[in-house]
Amino acid sequence: MTKQKKPNFIIIGAMKAATTSLYTYLKQHPDVFMTAIKEPMFFNNFQKNNNFKVHGRKTKKITTFEQYYQLFNDVKNEKAIGEASPAYISNEECPSLIQQHLPNIKIIAILRQPVARAYSNFLHARRADREPLTDFETAFNKESERKDENWSPLYHYKGKGYYTEQLELYYNLFQKENIKILLFEDLIKNPIKSTQDVFKFLNIDNSFIPDISKKANVSGTPKGIFGWIIMKLRYYNLIPNIQFRNYLPEFMIQFIFNSAYKKASPLAPALKKRLTHTFYKEDILKLEKLIGKDLQNWLS
């Protein structure tokens, strides 16, 4: 009987912290297998019927181990077998579920300045036609009200930025040497070095150089009728982001997206600083000690 293939590493998040980029880079390595579905979100949905409120369509969920392990049926001789579900980091039940069923797994987390991450999350929801509000700060401050109304974690813009309490759950359950923390800024500025650090963490050839030319999940808002059509095609998964990039050259993809989307307005520095110091300063200082990284640029 063939032994069931299982993952030996998981990218747990955070959402809008370049997890799709890292997924794309890792997938190129001959010793890495990544699931075709980039975000299975299995441990979020295992034995649950959340019925979260979502503005727009709902996606099909993977809720059983049979469905989950089928994602790894195509594993051949790859040494590193993984998946990337950014929602794992902010779900308090996921760490114990993962540890219970995959106790020796390696954990990778990418962290982004929390207000910048929240704003990108908001733009993502707006672009996907899932966020009815047009003002970021209003949506940011409506989180408690939305939680009371059982809105999807997609809209937990504020809460997802409290990384310390989220990561402590993982550090309490997994060996420290099996947890790899990356910073969004480092992955964006030096994607090859950051990815090679992950290769080393996964005990595979870290001299491999991935193609970093393809940009993933570029933010923006629909522009004109063409933008509206592209948004709806992606909304109904007729041109999903990852597969879309497998068939067209990068220059053509950039032309389509530049034609379909207008660049989002940047987050106002004053608003970013105010929200950071009001909601996240204490958590950022604790996080520095937990992960052993300098995060003062997140506060400046």
**pLDDT of amino acid 235:** 47
SS3 100: helix
- Give the closest residue to 89 by CA, choosing from 146, 196, 10: 10
Is 231 a residue whose pLDDT tops 60?
A: no
Pairing of strands 221-222, 261-262: antiparallel
User: What are the beta bridge partners of residue 9?
Assistant: 82, 106
**pLDDT of amino acid 158:** 98
Give Cα separations from 287 to 51, 106, 272 (angstroms): 32, 20, 19
Name the E strands within 56-100.
80-84
> Considering the chain, what is the average pLDDT of its residues?
88
**pLDDT of amino acid 56:** 57
Residue type, 26: L
| Dihedrals phi, psi of 222, to nearest 5 degrees | -55, 140
Residue type, 286: K
The long-range contacts involving 228-234, CB below 8 angstroms and separated by at least 24 positions, are 229/260, 230/256, 230/257, 230/260, 230/261, 231/127, 231/128, 231/129, 231/260, 232/129, 234/128
Q: What is the pLDDT of residues 203-220, one digit of tens each?
A: 999 999 999 986 565 555
Averaged pLDDT for residues 27-39: 96
Any idea which of 48-62, 79-93, 126-140, 206-220 has the lowest mean pLDDT?
Answer: 48-62
- Give the closest residue to 63 by CA, choosing from 84, 81, 83, 41: 41
Is 98 a residue whose pLDDT tops 60?
A: yes
Reading the block at residue 237, the tokens are 């998964």
Averaged pLDDT for residues 36-51: 85
Reading the block at residue 154, the tokens are 């997609």
The H or E element that residue 221 is part of is: strand 221-222
Averaged pLDDT for residues 29-34: 98
Q: What is the pLDDT of residues 119-171, one digit of tens each?
A: 999 999 998 889 999 999 999 999 999 999 999 999 999 999 999 999 999 99
Label residue 245 by pLDDT band (50, 70, 90): low
Is 224 a residue whose pLDDT tops 70?
A: no
**Torsion 120-19-91-45 (CA) sign:** positive
Is 199 a residue whose pLDDT tops 90?
A: yes
CATH superfamily of 9-212: P-loop containing nucleotide triphosphate hydrolases (3.40.50.300)
Averaged pLDDT for residues 91-101: 96
Is 70 a residue whose pLDDT tops 80?
A: yes
Is 57 a residue whose pLDDT tops 60?
A: no
pLDDT over 70, % of the chain: 79
